[in-house]
Chains A and B, each alone.
Chain A
Amino acid sequence: MKIVSFINYKGGVGKSTTAYHIGCALALDHGMKILLVDVDPQTNLTFLCATPERWEDFKNSHGTLASLYQSYLSGQSYNIKNIIWESPIEKAGRKVVEGLDLIPSDVELLGIDLDLQLKTASSNDLSTVARHYVKQRTILRGALQAIKDDYDYILIDCPPNLYLVTQNALATSDCYIVTALPDHLSTIGLSILQRRVEKLNMDISHAAGIIGENIAIPKLGGIIFVRVRLGGAAITNVHDRKMREISSDYPGKVFEKYTTEGIGYSEASESALPVFLLSGGNPRRVADQYREIAEEFIRRVPL
């Protein structure tokens, strides 16, 4: 089993869409058992899987990821199986992506992030502070232990920040994947992001070391370019140049496969269905691209 976080502190760069479609491709085309975890309070991944009304029903009857953190904040243990939504993707009431489950998100995670930061260790003892530091960042990791053997891949969609909920996702991941548009503003922060993640990794490793624990830190699993602009059959000059630059700066890390600009995504999002299950030229084009990305994903993040 592998846990992978999709991350970038810039919004609108295809994190949710990419995690969703890679997950769906792995389940549909490769028969794998996939768990999507939406840790972004924007709940985009959740609403790619189900309509808001169905989410509301699930939330009222089972809870969301917020329930896990609320339990932690109130000092209670929590079984994460309570909030696993089995095969949530439906077409006209029928489950259409068997093998893909979801832990849905909640807008309440916004407040929870602040509450987690306010929960401090009232001690000057180094090991107590270190234990608290590690505990604050391994809530999700601890919860996922109970289900890690049930899945081939667990894919976590992170919010566009590096606060505690995101740090929890990173602390449980084997690697992280960055999605980006190949333009100046989307790529300018890549090196900062990588440095910040390395710093967080160092901090948690250091804290874990103080209390005699060992926490494996996630490596950069790859950079996936999305919505690449084409001029005719070729990539436009600006995007091509940026992709070459990033490939040169991160040797071996940039996925060879990418998605191109188009309207297939919006059709998928309003239908709460992956492009693989939509008809028409645009969804089919995007579906082919995501199938290729999913295959490359398996090669880059082997089980």
Chain B
Amino acid sequence: MKKIQQRKEYFVLEVLEETLKHFPTDAERENFTKNIDVIINFFQSLRERVLSLPNDEEQRKILLAIKDITNFLESAEKSPVLATALGLAYEKKTLAKSRREEVTPQSVETLLNELKNLPTEQIQKKLLDYKTVTMPQLRALASLLGIKHEQRIKRQDLVDKIVKIGFANIRGYDMLRSTEDKGKA
């Protein structure tokens, strides 16, 4: 029994001896703590940088300032003198630009109804006149008539499509049908 007790104590000592072998050396401990210091410094620095970002109030003020500057630059672009002084491109207020804002579903419907009452040749003439009908209006009209076209289509090509597909072909079909009906009667 005593012998067995003595063996157990030896075993613990053996384990302890083995464990001590895996403990870090002084040099390793020093290196390890240095690395932890680097990490602590990083997070401290990060904390300071996060705190230096603008808070809610500061963000609101910045947004207001941006809006003010944008408004100023936009108005400056419309003034030839100011735009030149600030080195900005002067934005010419064109007829097309001003009309672009006027394209509404109602205005296109009105245009379509107007066109329906015109002979085909006059429809073409009216649509070709850039002073009367703008490109955005033409595009909206084509869309209303279900006429697909390429994004970069030329005015002449789009007018041709609208006139032929939207009006001339339908009128031609009706014309030929009524001629045939008269013939049968």
Chain A positions within 8 Å of B, measured between CB atoms, are 47, 51-56, 91-94, 107, 270-273, 279-280
Minimal beta-carbon separation of B164 from chain A (angstroms): 6
Asked if A272 contacts B176 (CB within 8 A), the reply is: no
Q: For the complex, is B74 an interface residue (Cβ under 8 Å from A)?
A: no
Asked if B171 contacts A271 (CB within 8 A), the reply is: no
* Complex CA distance for A54 and B167, rounded to whole angstroms: 13
- The stretch among B9-17, B19-27, B44-52, B153-161 that forms the contact with chain A is B153-161
Q: Pick the residue among A55, A272, A280 that contacts B164 (CB under 8 A).
A: A272
* Complex CA distance for A150 and B125, rounded to whole angstroms: 33
Minimal beta-carbon separation of A28 from chain B (angstroms): 17
Chain B positions within 8 Å of A, measured between CB atoms, are 120-121, 124-125, 128, 150, 153, 156-157, 159-161, 163-165, 168-169, 171-173, 175-176, 180
The residue on B at minimum CB distance from A55 is B172
Given contacts A271-B165, A272-B164, A280-B150, 18 further A-B contacts (CB under 8 A): A51-B120, A51-B164, A51-B168, A51-B172, A52-B168, A52-B171, A52-B172, A54-B168, A55-B172, A56-B175, A93-B121, A93-B125, A93-B128, A94-B156, A270-B164, A270-B165, A273-B160, A279-B153
* Complex CA distance for A290 and B175, rounded to whole angstroms: 32
Q: Pick the residue among B124, B150, B164 that contacts A271 (CB under 8 A).
A: B164
* Complex CA distance for A208 and B156, rounded to whole angstroms: 53
* Complex CA distance for A56 and B168, rounded to whole angstroms: 12
B contact patch SS: helix
Residues of chain A within 8 A of B164, CB atoms compared? 51, 270-272
Cross-chain pairs A/B with CB under 8 angstroms, 26 sampled: A51-B120, A51-B164, A51-B168, A51-B169, A51-B172, A52-B168, A52-B171, A52-B172, A52-B173, A52-B176, A56-B175, A92-B124, A92-B157, A92-B160, A92-B163, A93-B121, A93-B124, A93-B125, A94-B156, A107-B176, A107-B180, A271-B160, A271-B165, A279-B150, A279-B153, A280-B150
* Complex CA distance for A210 and B105, rounded to whole angstroms: 74
Given A53-B120, A91-B156, A91-B157: A270 and B128 interface contact (C-beta under 8 Å): no
Residues of chain B within 8 A of A47, CB atoms compared? 172
